[in-house]
Structures are given as structure tokens and as C-alpha cells.
Amino acid sequence: MPIYQTTDQLYTCAQQLFDRIQRDDPEAARPLLASRLVIRLRLTGPAGEIVINGRTRPITTSFGSSANRPDLDIELSGDTLHQILLGQLAIAKALGSKQLKAKGPVWKAAVLADLFRQGQTIYPQILREQGLT
């Protein structure tokens, strides 16, 4: 059974995560801001889109369809994102096993490392708050 039952549940957790990263450690966004990339996470199970915009200061995130054209398009399941945010699955391993598919300059996905690393410290608390543990 997937961790997220609905797209709204996925968006709520993701929004809280990005808000807290910005509040608690804005430096985690520095590589993304320096890259000026727009990255779209296209999710399945449940279906959804998260756009992370590194062209704005501070970074902005949007949920659902966005007019921003992504420089890097990443497709993954909600469960794969969940495993990455728990630190149970490395991005490189997810790419190698095709659990994560990228279109665009894949090597630029490394700019997400600091965001995800910081997210790993916050995410378990968000899961508890949302009753998803």
C-alpha cells in the first residue's frame, strides 16, 4: 500500500517539508539557487507534480501543473520519494534501478542533494504529524 493515499496528502507533506527547510536552513537551497534550475518532480502513485524553482529567491515550490518550463524533469513514485526522504534510497541508486527517471541534464540533479539531506532530518517529524508513520 502506498504511503500517500491521495495527491492532497502528498502535497501537504511536501509543502510542509519545503517550508521548514526554507525556515530552518535556507542555506540548503544555495546550490539550487546558484544553478538557477527549474526542476519538476512528476509523481505517480498518487499522480502529482511538484515544481521547484531555483530562479526565484527564496526558492519557490508549486504543486500541480505549472507554467514554468522545467530544465530537469524527474519522474518517480510517491513511495520512491518517500524512501529518498527517509534516507533509505540514494538518488544514484534510484536512477540506476529506474525507480527515478530524469529527462534533461541528469548530472544537474545533484543540486537537490543539500535540500534532500536537510529534508531527511525534518521529514520523519512531518510524517508523525500527518499520522503516516
Among 24-28, 82-86, 89-93, 94-98, name the most confident range. 82-86
Q: Which residue has the higher pLDDT, 106 or 12?
A: 12
DSSP 28: G
> What pLDDT does 68 receive?
85
Whether 133 has a pLDDT exceeding 90, the answer reads: no
Integer Cα distance of 102 and 18 in angstroms: 21
pLDDT tens column, 10-62:
999 999 999 999 999 989 999 999 999 999 999 999 999 999 999 999 999 99
Q: Quote the CA–CA distance of 133 and 1 in Å, as a whole number.
A: 13
CA max distance for the chain: 38
Quick one: which of 19, 42, 47, 44 has its CA closest to 115? 19
Domains in the chain, CATH or no CATH each: 7-129 (3.30.1050.10)
* pLDDT of the residue at 113: 83
Helix (H) or strand (E) holding 70: none
Q: Decide if pLDDT at 4 tops 90.
A: yes
d(CA 126, CA 133): 9
Give the residue among 53, 55, 68, 65 at the shortest CA–CA distance from 18: 53
Asked whether 21 and 118 are in contact (CB, 8 A), the reply is: yes
Provide the pLDDT confidence category of residue 98 given band limits of 50, 70 and 90.
very high
* pTM for the predicted model, two decimal places: 0.92
